[in-house]
Structure 1
Amino acid sequence: MIDIKLDKFQGPLSLLLRIIEKEELDITSINLAKIANEYLDYIKNSENILPERMADFLLMASKLLYIKSKALLPYLFNEEDEGEIEDLEKQLKMYKEFVDLSHKIQKIIGKKRFSFSRILNKNNRRFSFLGDYFFPPKNIKQDDLKNSFLKILDRIEKEDEKLEEETIKAEVSIEERISFIKNLINQKIKINFTRILKEAKSKTEIIVNFLAVLELSKQRQLIFQQSELFSDIYLESDREENL
């Protein structure tokens, strides 16, 4: 933050604001236009201005403007005006948080790593992110997951083609498979994820089963367990969610 040079004060803007709020300095003697001009000159002469710095200045400058306006025209202010300056402060703080998060996301993208591990909190049975703790083996390729899924599809026996007979296949809805998986899991403490896929009678049902499992996980009605990388995945009912 730049130093402000006035007739009765010299130092950072944040210090000026604190002094005025403590009523150690008369706000009516402060030239706010001069402060704004000094900041504009500072921006013009600086190559890179961080957005959070600009947000800080806007917050402090708006407070100074509010305090001075209230001192000069007290009869124009009420309790609602007090809330407006607080709302502005919250908005600027939120803006700063977004800027900080955008920088973090930019660093993550720069690392070109888009996979992160998660652990299950045993106390509240909720997942939490660990950050950069996912270290796949060097021999694992990007298409391995896709190839594994295709192998499962190939295990389904191909239906005999009947050229002379036209059959109408009943559509399987995700809602039906969700209900099926719920009943299946409620009958056992754990169930192998591969078994659910094998329960399907066609490739379409495999896909629908897969989507149903994802939907139940999204709704936090079941949890996944895997002892080690590429081992069998087991599904378990989240009892706290009352499947």
Structure 2
Amino acid sequence: MNTYEISIPVFEGPMDLLMYLVNKNRIDINDIPIHFITEQYLDYLNQAGEFNLPLGSEFFEMAANLLYIKSKTLLPQRRQDEEETENPKAELERSLEEFRLMKEIKSRISTLMAEEQPYRTREPAELKQETFNGKIPLARLNAAFLALYEELEPPPQRVLEKEEYTLDEAVQSLRQVLSTRKKMRVHVFLGMQHTRLRLAVSLVALLEMIRVGRVLLEDTETGLYIKEIA
């Protein structure tokens, strides 16, 4: 007899799952129906359990948070105001908005890398062997990038000229900067980029230089530094 295989999507984390449910149901991210989204979230967890899909503790922590928010909405408005001034539902919506922005930035960086791929020359065999196997402090690197990305918001009603900035140009720029000093702060290097395109490409260039073993990151108490490997 023919058998039918049923599968459910796998998500990187609870925020990824929530964003999927928001998009699937075409929900306004700033006006989430907490009862509806909680039921669908719990339904996914139940299905994951039935199919033995491994879930991290953060999924169940989010489930508890959703149930808490749902219980708060059942209270009379006056009782809600008396218990706390911060709206947990609004906090969830802000977190989802930040997560959505992060996914857009990630998608943009992936697009830039794909566009640059045809113009990149093949790497020498000896360079390919110098791959980076350590850990990168992604949280601090991401914080520096996002802070500068928000500062570079283009003014409204401004006609922007077409801009081109290649990965090779960004790599060369980083090499020139490091040739004059032993190391420099990540925030300083990214702060030298004056547009969002240059900022994104420069971040990719930094990650590429780390990958091939030409630079490394030093996570110190005074900040995150880029250091050239001799």
**TM > 0.5:** no
Scaled by the length of structure 1, the TM-score of the pair is 0.36
The structure that has the greater radius of gyration is 1
Larger strand proportion, structure 1 or 2?
1
Q: Which has the higher contact order (CA 8 A, sep 6+)?
A: 2
